[in-house]
Amino acid sequence: MHTTDDILRASAAWVWFPRDSDHHEGDLQLVRYPERFGGGVRGSRVNSDADPVTVVDRALERTRAWGESEFRFWTNAADRPDLEEELRRRGAEHVDTVAVFARRVEGADLGVPHGATAEVVTTLEQVREVDAINVPVWQQRPLDEDGLRVEHAEVAAALTAGTQVRVLARLDGRAVSTGGCTIVDGFTRLWGAATLPEARGRGAYRAVLAERLRVSASYGATTALVKGRTATSAPILARAGFTHYGDERGYRLTV
């Protein structure tokens, strides 16, 4: 198990770069999301000697230069300086909170119920089923046939390299939940968990979680790191033996 400092540093370093995104790293990490994921600019991982006003001004300047009108920022305990107060002063809306959790990869007993199964995604048809879950849950645009083939190629390459795994869960044979994990420096970052609303509360998320931990252990990961929404997955993670290491808050500012 990694130390608390290791876990907090790994949480701060965790940034997602979607396919076809743009990114810029200065006072903070900025990622311009493609239209499929709602567009806009996401900011995180602040490391600057400048004051909060200057850091936010620079981020908004880059957002405008990209032609975007929405800036989102996620706080982190490792931010230097802390931008939360400055964002609130500018009228930023608090839109979400996630709890940072970690635990040993091995030894989890999640009590997956009968009828809930999980599998590693390897085929094009499974990628299609994953997309059918993500589109309504994350309010994304569906992938076209070319996009599905590109996604499948990326999933297969990452699985072969042992760096990233996508999991699909079923209830009585129907695909209803999905999630991924990325192996980095002995951590497995658990991300993208999504369950269809009508299937929630029946063990599908627990099946996805258990399968990701099993596969991560086989790839040598020792600590699982996850950011769970306080209203959905956080209670399940707490019951599964994950320790809470603080919260990260998301803010939205119209530029």
Residue pLDDT, tens place only, 136-179: 999 999 999 999 999 999 999 999 999 999 999 999 999 999 99
Q: Say which CATH number the domain at 210 has.
A: 3.40.630.30
In a domain, 234, yes or no: no
In a domain, 169, yes or no: yes
In a domain, 29, yes or no: yes
Residue pLDDT, tens place only, 222-241: 999 999 887 778 888 888 89
Instruction: Judge if 139 and 215 occupy the same domain.
Output: yes
- Provide the terminal-to-terminal Cα distance of the chain, rounded to the nearest Å: 42
Number of domains in the chain: 2
Dist CA 24 CA 31 (whole Å): 7
Cβ-proximal residues to 18 (8 Å cutoff; 6+ apart), any chain: 31, 33, 34, 36, 37
In a domain, 78, yes or no: yes
Dist CA 255 CA 253 (whole Å): 6
Say what the pLDDT of residue 109 is: 78
Q: What is the DSSP letter of 37?
A: G
Dist CA 77 CA 202 (whole Å): 34
Residue pLDDT, tens place only, 49-97: 999 999 999 999 999 999 999 999 999 888 999 999 999 999 999 999 9
Instruction: Judge if 77 and 152 occupy the same domain.
Output: no
Instruction: Judge if 87 and 129 occupy the same domain.
Output: no
In a domain, 243, yes or no: no
Q: By residue range, what is the domain housing residue 69?
A: 4-98+250-254
Instruction: Judge if 110 and 217 occupy the same domain.
Output: yes
Query: What's the whole-model pTM score?
Result: 0.87
Instruction: Judge if 216 and 119 occupy the same domain.
Output: yes
